[in-house]
Amino acid sequence: MLFGIGNIPWSLIFSDNRMKFFLSCFFTVCMTFVQAQDKKMCISVDDLPVVSYGIEDPDFGEKITEKLLSTFRKHEVPAIGYVNEHKLYKNGTLDQSMVHLLELWLKNGNELGNHTYSHMNYHSSAFGDYTEDIIRGEKITRQLTDEYKTPLKYFRHPYLRSGMNKEHADTLENFLNQVGYTTAPVSIDNDDYLFAKAYHDAFMAGDSTLMEKIGQAYLSYMEDKLLYFERSSINLFNRNISHILLVHASLLNAEYLDDLIEVYNKHGYQYISQGEALEDEVYREKITRFGDWGISWIDRCALSQGKKGDFFKDEPFVPEFIRDLNQDNTY
């Protein structure tokens, strides 16, 4: 017998109903492929050079940084790291081992951005103090980015607090534009820091069983978050936008980001730079509702479009045991 495609004879393929079935399968496969190709994500890492919860051993920070960077190399991720320069100083003196960690990011071909000097909350700061903190926060980073010819262009608001009302937000946005920064919102917001603190405590206690349990719960939570924001994006914009993921420079991400990126790979993501992600017109949507929020850009747009409780109802929660482990968390 002469076969058509695989083991399916041409006579079956071209009978009317079977042809329709075949074509529908073919287009479904094509669409899935196209959609998978279209899935894009920028990975941004906040609170550089490192989230160490008080561990001052330079080897600890270097281990976290090297692991993060080797994961980015492995998966060809053009990640960006947002810096809090106050972490570069020990007792008022510049700590070269911390500066070295930033250099590793640039040597690896990654970008750096400004996250204020002292991780200041715009909503609880005087405007002058906040803008001073932005400028103070670029002193060393700008020298390094100039040296490595990777311009310092992006600003990330600590706690994602970007203005309590339109005037408050616009005034800061104008200042940032004047001093050459583009703001970088987050579409996939999450509470990775709660998992990270619990993981760090388990590490300090030498409890590898608990570390593994936290790590696995983190992967599952982050996959749920991805799926939630994909659904939100499609509900609101009829498409999956170019996402911007926020994670922190913690031991947890050093050890689990490789697995997490495998999860994203499974969902068909490609990795893009901060600049490419911000080319998506979604990041120029008009925000008309404000409050003391530090939330996803998608949620900001949803609130601005008048979406209410139902739109947000399926947002994944941090598991109870992670919350319990964080009871004494003062971070």
Binding site for Zn ion (CB under 5 A): 46-47, 158
Q: How far is the CB of 185 from Zn ion (least distance, A)?
A: 13
Q: Which lies closer to Zn ion via its Cβ, residue 269 or residue 297?
A: 297
Q: Which residue is nearest to Zn ion (CB)?
A: 46
Q: How far is the CB of 322 from Zn ion (least distance, A)?
A: 19
Query: Running DSSP on this structure, what letter comes out for residue 165?
Result: S
Dist. CA 149–CA 155, nearest whole Å: 18
Q: Which lies closer to Zn ion via its Cβ, residue 184 or residue 211?
A: 184
Q: Which lies closer to Zn ion via its Cβ, residue 160 or residue 241?
A: 160
Q: Which lies closer to Zn ion via its Cβ, residue 155 or residue 269?
A: 155
Q: Which lies closer to Zn ion via its Cβ, residue 158 or residue 185?
A: 158
CB-based burial label for 287 (10 Å; 0-12, 13-18, 19+): middle
Structure tokens at 153: 């262009």
Dist. CA 230–CA 239, nearest whole Å: 8
Q: How far is the CB of 46 from Zn ion (least distance, A)?
A: 4
Dist. CA 44–CA 156, nearest whole Å: 10
> Can you say how many angstroms the Cα of residue 320 is from the centroid of all Cα atoms in its chain?
23
Dist. CA 13–CA 20, nearest whole Å: 9
Q: How far is the CB of 245 from Zn ion (least distance, A)?
A: 14
Q: How far is the CB of 113 from Zn ion (least distance, A)?
A: 11
| Per-residue b or e along 103-132, where b marks 16 or more CB atoms closer than 10 Å to that residue's CB | bbbbebebbbbbbbbbbbebbebeeeebbe
